[in-house]
Structure 1
Amino acid sequence: MSSAARLLASVLALAGPGSALAQSPQPVMPIVPGANAQAPVPKPASKEVFTAPLKELPTPYTPGVMGANPPTSNKETDVAFGAYQRGQYTTALREATKRLSANSRDAAAMTLLGELNNQGLGIKQDPVKAAEWYRLAAAQGDVHAMASLGLMSIDGRGGPKDLKAGRRWLEQASDKGDATASYNLALILLGSGTEADQAKAATLFRKAANGEISAAQHGLGVLYLQGRGVAKDPAQAAELFRRAADNGDLAGEVEFAILLFNGTGIAKDEGRAARYFLHAASRGNAIAQNRIARLYANGRGVPKNLVEAAAWNLAAAAQGLSDAWLDQTLTGLSPEERTRAEQMASERANVK
């Protein structure tokens, strides 16, 4: 029995009508190695009232190996992928299995079965089986499978940890145009610290940024801001941070707001900066909460409002970002104002 046939038989045994797995839609989770991780917010820079730009690079995570579009235009595979995107994982499992039963060389169906096994969606989580499906799909040239194998090898999931093999898989996927693989490969190169690898990382970040990977847009912006691997160019950094912000990247949003406020690489606009800070703060970013609190306390970009300043300061402090200057500035609040600020901070803590 071939590897594909053996794996398919195991899927059929678990995906029959008697399966007790829930069919109700669930949110589609990002495809990340080992966990549904989120890149941490940047660390604070200085404790001055208005800080210089942040210096943090992205952390190694991927927004989703499968991407937003079906891996093939084949109608049956699209049915399976569509179910996956809607969170109907048992349907995705059934449809991908059906498709593979009809065509044992269907790489897209293999990759989808790899994803489901990797994340434990619609089937018991099994990284070893996931890696087997990915290898079969990669042998057929599927770039999503190559990218997934690269991440699993680096993370030591489904087999021994193997950084060299992981890098090779990511290089293959990147060469074939996979934007997320380019992003993750760039992060590996940045870790080497050599000037040549910094330049290669910038090139890979650019490929991923052009593929609208927001974390890559942020990462390339940081390189332009620092002059690492590229000539220092604050204007390019500002434009990349704006694109990252528009694509929902919180770190990029905060960076762009800081450049806007300071007039670095872009025309100074405190009001616009405040709006970006406020948006990121409302999404739970502690740095943005701290910065918008300082703006409210000083009436810069927004009308002065010490209750708002206190509320955002409390929200940031609840996430571990304390600010002695703000604490001292806000000591003059009345008990009623303090209570109102605490209520506002509590309400905001429940909104992400």
Structure 2
Amino acid sequence: MASDRMMEYYYSMGQDCLRMDDPENAVTYFKKAANMGAYEAALEIYSLGQQWEAGDGVEKSEEKAENCYKIGVEYEIPEASLSLGKLYLRGINGARPNPRKARRALENASDEGSAEAASLLGKMYDEGIMGKVNPDRAFNYYLLAAERGDSSAMLMTGMFYAQGESARKDLTAAEMWIRKGREAGDPDGDTTLRVFLAVACSEYITGEAGRVDPGKAWSMAEEAEALGDKEVFLRLGIAYSHATNLKDHDVKSFEAFKRAVGNGSLVAAAHLGLCYEAGIGVDENIEEAVRLYKKASDGGIPFAMTHYACALAAGEGGEKDEKAAMNLLIRAAMKGDPGAIQILKEDYDYELA
């Protein structure tokens, strides 16, 4: 048929233009071939758009890339809407982004099944790129992208379930999605899992997780610790210290603080000092309490400074030193410690200016 011959002719002319380094005329001929039904010609145009966007073998031109992507959308090239949306989202040639055009293009790509497009739409609504944050729509798009296999969206879906705002709070679903995203190789997988575990472990003590599960809480804290969180057992210890309804909560609190001290936490050292001073989860040991208070005090922890000052004033764990005690109390008060402020006022008749 004549139309088939012309289609082949135009496609061949487009290929010749490429060989002669004339991509602009190649697009003209390829479009004529595409109009006659040559889908491969439309693919050539889309490919030229990618080259112009990247400056790959041609002079970089995002305007020409935009034109090629638009033609690709017209001929239903699956990747064209996504490429166009990303171009608008970034801004053509350093110009301001065009979020409205980006949204329309990405919605088309998402409707065609693109996981990346759905993830980008989730980010747009999550960050308020359209002018207003819309967490409900953000979650819906993240979940859609996650179900399609986007690793970044898996992590974000998990965090939405963990926070329990636009999605119902569900730590089981949160953990599942975050682990899937990490297993899929997302570069933020370890960090996201560590943050999730560090928060969720305490929620399994306080009941915010929907149930109380000390065993899971401890194992989560251990995993977060292995991933680099050296303060996680401090937070777990604090959670245990408030969970007075739990059996042996004081012993678990002591054990958590002790482990955190082993990881170098000075705040935990102050809490552990209090455990030894008050016999919380361990036999009273004033000397050990003072040693821990001094360690944390030397590191600038206000609570520890106040308690170490009291020890100095009373001569506990060493020689009595009222002057050093008052200096420490003043420093702790200047850091805002309410105990130091109260002691200075009541015992020393001294108030900060």
TM-score by length of 1: 0.50
- Name the structure, 1 or 2, with higher relative contact order (CA <8 Å, separation 6+): 1
Q: Which has the higher helix share?
A: 2
**Rg: which structure is higher?**
2
TM-score by length of 2: 0.50
